[in-house]
Amino acid sequence: MRILFLGDIVGKSGRDAVLRELPYLRRALDTDFVVVNAENAAHGFGLTAQIAAELFDAGADVLTTGNHVWDQRELLTYIDREPRILRPMNFPPGTPGKGAGLFAARGGRQVLVLHAMGRAYMDPLDCPFRAIDKELEAAPLGMVADAILVDIHAEATSEKMAMGHWCDGRASLVVGTHTHVPTADAQVLPKGTGYQTDAGACADYNSVIGFDPTVPLARFVHKIPAGKMEPAQGPATVCGVFVETDDRTGLAKRTEAVRTGGRLSAAIPKVEVAA
């Protein structure tokens, strides 16, 4: 199975780039399933029902989120009506939505998507490792699900790496989100799980993590309030991760970074596309 994961969409620039590039990437990579992190898609803060619908129409099968999931208040009610949108599973009990789902891929195969948030330098939540472990035990790879993807939305690279090793041999892909910068460590871990510490953002990279530099610079340099950050509006680079799994085991055969458009160097994995 071929799975594409795209990192955090930031604002209109990132959104427009994903809407433009995703249909091309689905064809070029002959993907069976696509997951997109969309927590910053609505002007950099949250996600709306309309934007979600546009992303589904462009080819996303599932949308993950993160710590900005509730920035657009409408999602508090919409998320229970749209099972293809996930919020971190280790939020407190009673939080709207869910953090895991089993979804149909091309050809009728089943993909389990798990979404958790880290705790290092972030809001205190339940343990993401135990939350993920519970789901992996309930739906083992190759038995319930043909492939399992984990989005770990976390600040610390060490926590994301630890999650990769925690899931190694039990998931097809563990990918980090939240820090908006693509890491150069796409790999297959020793027991067969694909991994990348951060998929990067779908954003204008002439920026500070996808936002116009003016406000972040004022905060860092002068340590004064400087207003709300605004998404950068230049051409965006679509960043993500591609994993190809073994149909027999569900484990990764290869994991490669994906980049297209904007300022960053292009990286499009080569695949054989059936005629």
CATH number at residue 152: 3.60.21.10
Would you give the DSSP letter of residue 121?
A: T
pLDDT in tens, 260-270: 999 999 999 99
116 occurs within a structural domain: yes
Residue 113 and residue 99: Cα distance in Å, rounded? 8
Q: In DSSP terms, which residues pair with 10 in a beta bridge?
A: 40
Residue 271 lies in a domain: no
User: Which tens digits make up the pLDDT trace of 199-249?
Assistant: 999 999 999 999 999 999 999 999 988 889 999 999 999 999 999 999 999
Q: Is residue 269 part of a domain?
A: no
Domain that residue 134 falls in: 2-260
Query: Does 274 reside within a domain?
Result: no
pLDDT for 184: 98
Residue 18 covered by a domain: yes
Structural domain contains residue 270: no
User: Mean pLDDT by 10-residue block, N- to C-terminus, for the chain (275 residues)?
Assistant: 98 98 97 98 97 98 98 97 98 97 97 98 96 97 96 98 98 98 98 98 98 96 91 98 97 98 97 78
Closest by CA position to 181, among listed 152, 155, 212: 155
**Strand segments (E) across the chain:** 2-6, 33-37, 62-64, 100-104, 110-117, 147-153, 173-177, 187-188, 194-196, 238-245, 252-260
Supply the residues annotated as catalytic: 68
* Residue 175 belongs to some domain of the structure: yes
Looking at the 3D structure of the chain, how many domains does it have? 1
DSSP code of residue 124:
-
Instruction: Report CA-CA distances (Å) from 128 to 125, 134, 260.
Output: 8, 10, 31
Q: Is residue 42 part of a domain?
A: yes
- Using a pLDDT cut of 90, give the percent of the chain over it: 97
- Could you tell me the two tokens for 26? 């689905």
pTM for this prediction: 0.97
